[in-house]
Amino acid sequence: MPPAGLEPPGRGSEGVAGLFSCESGTNRLTYIVLAGSFPAKFEGSKIMGQPVVHFEILGKDAKNLQDFYSDLFGWHINNNNLINYGEVDTGSESGIGGGIGPAQGENHVTFYIQVDDPQAHLDKIEAKGGRTVVPVTEIPDMVTFALFADPEGNVVGLVKE
């Protein structure tokens, strides 16, 4: 129960409270604010929802993208692996980490929302007009994730906490 006078946005309704998107050429960055669909968590006087915990920037020339962002923002990018996926360390105590790597298809940017049960969220997403793009997938000792498309086709990730 939230503290007196503090209600989560969209309480009593389900769905998207806000969808904000910006485009540059063929690339699109989308932010989604969900209201009511997923229970908000409360800690003290703060609403604790599902946080955005990771980003990915994927393109045809991963090395060029890694160099671009590293040089521009001073990020350390570790791509010492077989697939040239660069794990981003921004060097900052705030913000989120991410990755820059090769795209399998079109260039795109994706952000990931941390949830306790990705399948339950995919079920709710589909009930509200979204669709599953990648079902719940576990990469042992690394991550459990899924991807969905919102009703406008923007792809967003879910990652298990």
* The pLDDT value given to residue 22: 38
C-alpha angle 153/142/120, rounded to 5°?
45
Helix residue ranges per DSSP H, 17-103: 62-73
DSSP 8-state secondary structure symbol assigned to residue 40: P
3-class secondary-structure state, position 31: strand
Q: Is the pLDDT of residue 51 over 70?
A: yes
What's the burial of 103, exposed, middle or buried (CB within 10 Å: 0-12/13-18/19+)? Answer: middle
* The pLDDT value given to residue 39: 36
What's the burial of 96, exposed, middle or buried (CB within 10 Å: 0-12/13-18/19+)? Answer: middle
Domain residue spans of the chain? 1-51+116-154
Nearest to 30 by CA among 125, 158, 155: 155
Give the range among 3-7, 41-45, 150-154 with minimum mean pLDDT.
3-7
Q: Is the pLDDT of residue 17 over 90?
A: no
Nearest to 31 by CA among 109, 99, 95: 109
Percent of the chain with pLDDT over 90: 61
Taking all residues of the chain, what is their mean pLDDT, rounded to a whole number? 77
Tens digit of pLDDT for each residue in 19-41?
333 344 444 433 333 333 333 34
> Mean pLDDT over residues 50-69, rounded?
95
107 with 58: CB under 8 angstroms? yes
Tens digit of pLDDT for each residue in 5-16?
433 333 333 333
